[in-house]
Amino acid sequence: MPTVALVGTLDTKGEEYGFLKRRVEEAGCRVVLVDVGVLGEPQIGPDVGRGAVLAAAGADLEGLLAEGDRGNIVTAMGRGAGALLARMVADRRIHAVAGMGGSGGTAVVAAAMQALPIGFPKLIVSTMAGGDMRAFVGGADIAIVHSVVDIAGNNRILRRVLGQAAGAITGMARAYAAERIVDAPAPVIGATMFGVTSPGVTAARRWLEYHGYEVLVFHANGAGGRSMEALMRQGLITGVLDVTPTELVDELVGGELSAGAERLEVAGALGLPQVVSLGALDIANFGPMHTVPPRYRHRNLLVHNPAITLMRTTPEECAQLGAILAGKLNASRGPVAVFIPLRGISALAVKGGPFHDPAADAALFEALRGSLLPAIEVVASDTDINDPRFAEAMAECANRLYRTWRPAGIQATDRDPSYTRDGGGRGREASRRQPAPVRQTV
């Protein structure tokens, strides 16, 4: 019989968790109740108490309460619950996890769920679902259900919402328990794509698939970048075709689709082979036109659709982006190649396009070339980013880097002279004084 873990603050939501537990059991699943509440005694008996949760986080309840810092308590509860659930998942003792709450309860439950593998069923009923859930979801595949009303008593609305949530999570648990998927033994490449880089990424993906790779394509919308890097940490993705690092723009200018300050650092820290291009570094993303900050209203703006307004990056911003990108790639412990499309970094930036700006592109290229270490391969192409020739050149390079790659800790060999694990045999400080060599193609 499949088992569902219900994680929540049983001191304040015991009645509601009792209702959800009964519905899950009526649907034919066992339940493991995990208590992450700290305000009082649980209203319903847990299977895993708060002490065990905090012990898994290396924390002590009395000590945390003495500190009186609610943020530390919530963080410790989320970390401990995640560690416990991860062990249960690995041992196949649970087949799905669900929880509910307001902002605090959602934060604890979501933090625990983010520690679980992609593909393991996760569902949260939350009062926060009508707002920005990026901080709660992170890069995880968490299903969110809006509670509509506050989670306070078993009223007719909440009973219906929780009943549907019970049906959803039990269905997911049964499907997961019965799953017999065997993944093909192919190397897995993570790629990033935006609508304005879709043709090029699609061509590169098809080339790689033809040559025996499985390619996971991520929409570079903030959540996509975080998800890709979460899968790198899990060891599922072992090579990167980061064609579209546009999330760096929103992190720089305060746009809507940032993936956080660590974007483009995970692959390098893990020593994974990377092929990186400059896709959509001409674009910052905002909501409807009226949401664009006043300081940007005079800029080159494009209404993509009623919900999204795009802003062209300036030469000054592009110079910053080039330096930021170079700094992240210079720290990489694995092989890196950078591809520069000289005739347009997105479908909007080509000649005749609304974001065509040769001065901004030149500032980007110059800052990038001037800041990259010489050990990093740079390929400049007299094409735009969606040209099939450019796409296939990137794919071929990804294949070459992957085939000569060694896992972290294994030294490079004569078959693989372009890099070492410390970024190249040449001293870092000396190498910063000269730009990376550029190879022209196409």
pLDDT tens, residue by residue, 78-89:
999 999 999 999
Over residues 331-341, mean pLDDT: 97
Share above pLDDT 90 across residues of the chain, in percent, rounded to a whole number: 78
Over residues 260-282, mean pLDDT: 97
The answer to whether domain 3-178 and domain 188-441 are alike in fold is: yes
Identify the pLDDT of residue 322.
98
β-pairing verdict for 301-305 and 308-312: antiparallel
Domains of the chain, residue spans: 3-178, 188-441
Q: How far is CA 13 from CA 18, 48, 99, in A?
A: 9, 16, 10
Question: In whole angstroms, what is the distance from residue 203 CA to residue 197 CA?
Answer: 10
Residue 442 pLDDT class (50, 70, 90 cuts): low
Over residues 20-30, mean pLDDT: 97
Instruction: List, for residues 136-189, the tens digit of each pLDDT value.
Output: 888 889 999 999 999 998 899 999 999 999 999 999 999 999 987 666 668 999
Q: Which CATH superfamily is domain 3-178 in?
A: Uncharacterised protein family UPF0261, NN domain (3.40.50.12020)
For the domain with range 188-441, which CATH number is right: 3.40.50.12030, 3.40.50.1100, 2.60.40.10, 1.10.3720.10? 3.40.50.12030
Q: What is the pTM of this model?
A: 0.78
